[in-house]
Chains A and B, each alone.
Chain A
């Protein structure tokens, strides 16, 4: 009996973005098929998992994840090394929450210094997210990029209100930019157009579609990402061909389903495994929809997702 598997005819390709310099350089993107569609095209670079490091002692993490990190809370460098050496992080994502004046009092110069210290200590690429208002993020990233010139770190985030400063900081010091959109394909495109018009090369941009957690609107993100990938690969829309990062961990680890005890919600079962599942399923969903970089927290969720990526590719 005749049977031909229908195949997608791809015309586009995701840009390849290089993170980190020299020995620690890692490429993301470059695929010519939908996620894990190895039967239709090339997936030259597997998606990578970054683990979070914070610039200060985090408050209110549930015990189920707190226990893995609390011995390194006071030293972001040790923290980053632990993520790489013990938990298999393929990149480090430094979350500069203390630069948000509502949260802490870290000055842009201090943040830049800390970023440099962490970067110099680790063997994997570095991703840096600012915090607070867009203006604040831009001021901090200006210093961060300057202090880490020519190291191909990934800095963010840019939106329409602050993209000029961020793009200038990245271009001037040869770093990469996270372009954030609110689950919106058109805004994602528009921002990429603005950034490239300023002269930022397309292969220095990674898109962040404002990830949400399982149970809290993840399907909006899922579909926004699928639409971006379809536009990029099947319609060869150049302004959607940037790799995608999902800053997942902060979204997942604030929802009550990963925080509330089994005593309080016996029908939800074991808290730690529930949290691992919540993060891993959220992560897998983003990967299936098109993520190239995931920012995660729980070591067991990280290793599970890595295992599945390996099996699928």
Chain B
């Protein structure tokens, strides 16, 4: 990643043997630099070069996987400061705390598990459970940890200042690859042993960047790179700065010792659930990789999950919804039929306004690769010929007995041609230009 094609070329055998499938070593190097092929394609590259190239091709923020099985999540691998430059790679994880002095562990796990939503075709959910050793009692913490582990498949984070406890839990639950919090300058050697014997990812905590670097360097020299940084002071202003500084150090300065995902604890910055959610939202946008919350109320979690989905969307790829006939209200065979495109924003706004109108309707959403109405029209995708084909394949003709189709006001000019394309079976009605006018339009439309 950091290396250019020429840098890579220098480390290749330069024999142009073509075994990799490319005509020259230089051509292969260029493809490598562009990330289009793997180094393994070259059978002759030296071990030394391999190690060098592997190191250089690592992302500035390493990937860390937490948990095992289908609920495993990964964080890190980010490459930019701003989402318009390139999509943020791995969405931040949300974890909810369970403290070992709580009475209602079963209930709480159930509640956390129930926080699951579907939105624009994606499943939104809590990624992890963070078990904290609040009791300061070793046996109690181990017991509660094992219990939580038995109740959920979600990845687990264990927080304790007692290294021995974490070692026990790491050993018992190593198959589930929990995240252990955490190593500092005093405990780093013990954590190196835990990391080696369990393979569990480890949080490195410290009060300053230099403290963190001291620990991550020792870890790295011992071969442990599965690390997450907690540099939290639990003060919003300082932690906002810390997150930005860490990301900048890793990406702009290529500081490998700080190039790890981070963990932040809004749950330890406030007792007010609303404020906790708001603080968490700041770290969704500004570089928290794992965000730990104490409050599992859906009214706090759902907005945060939606916000994460928004921020981690590919800014160059419009979000799309599925092409189909959407039922709004409970439409029947006489209900109006409207058509729009599958840009998710368009869909959300139109469907919301149709819903506001209280007129049950059929909304035909046509796949134009996620473009808005005008863009899709300009790109030749939302045009009479294509729309007519969609009307036929959508199955709407079996759902309604009338044949009136409302098109967006911005493409009024399609009216005549679309009627022709539909063999004059359908009457095409020009709807409003703006979504906000839809309710009034629909009410008048059905009463006429």
Contact = CB atoms under 8 A, between A and B. Distances in A.
Contacts of A1: 210, 213-214, 217, 257
A281 B237 CA distance: 17
Contacts, number: 149
B306 A215 contact: yes
A311 B344 CA distance: 35
A277 B305 CA distance: 12
Contacts of A254: 352, 356
B352 A255 contact: yes
Given A227-B84, A276-B274, A285 B307 contact: yes
Nearest to A273: B299
B278 A39 contact: no
B355 A222 contact: no
Contact of B278 (A223, A227, A277): A277
Contacts of B298: 267-269, 274
Interface stretch (B98-106, B153-161, B175-183, B245-253): B245-253
Contact of B300 (A212, A269, A308): A269
Contacts of B252: 6
A284 B82 contact: no
A184 interface: no
Interface string B332-354: 00000000000011001100100
Given A214-B303, A256-B355, A277 B274 contact: yes
A217 interface: yes
Given A269-B297, A285-B307, A308 B275 contact: yes
Interface residues of A, number: 52
Interface stretch (A50-58, A66-74, A114-122, A299-307): A299-307
A6 B249 contact: yes
Nearest to A254: B352
Contact of B310 (A218, A255, A288): A218
Interface string A277-313: 1101100110011000000000010001101100111
Interface string A24-40: 00000000000011110
A256 B249 contact: no
A257 B275 CA distance: 19
Given A1-B213, A5-B249, A219-B315, A277 B277 contact: yes
Q: What range describes how many residues of B lie at the interface? A: 35 or more
A95 B355 CA distance: 24
A286 to B, nearest CB: 11
Nearest to A308: B278
B244 A215 contact: no
A216 interface: yes
A161 interface: no
Nearest to B280: A281
A1 B214 CA distance: 7
A230 interface: yes
A215 B345 CA distance: 9
A213 to B, nearest CB: 9
Given A267-B117, A268-B298, A269-B300, A226 B84 contact: yes
Given A274-B299, A277-B300, A304 B278 contact: yes
A307 B275 contact: yes
A220 B83 CA distance: 10
A312 B236 contact: yes
11 contacts: A4-B253, A215-B119, A215-B306, A218-B307, A218-B310, A219-B315, A222-B285, A226-B82, A273-B300, A281-B304, A284-B281
Interface of A: 1, 3-6, 36-39, 60, 102, 212, 214-220, 222-223, 226-227, 230, 254-257, 267-271, 273-274, 276-278, 280-281, 284-285, 288-289, 300, 304-305, 307-308, 311-313
Given A288-B285, A288-B286, 18 more contacts: A3-B258, A5-B248, A6-B253, A36-B240, A39-B245, A215-B303, A216-B348, A219-B313, A222-B311, A227-B84, A256-B355, A267-B302, A277-B277, A277-B299, A281-B307, A284-B278, A284-B281, A305-B278
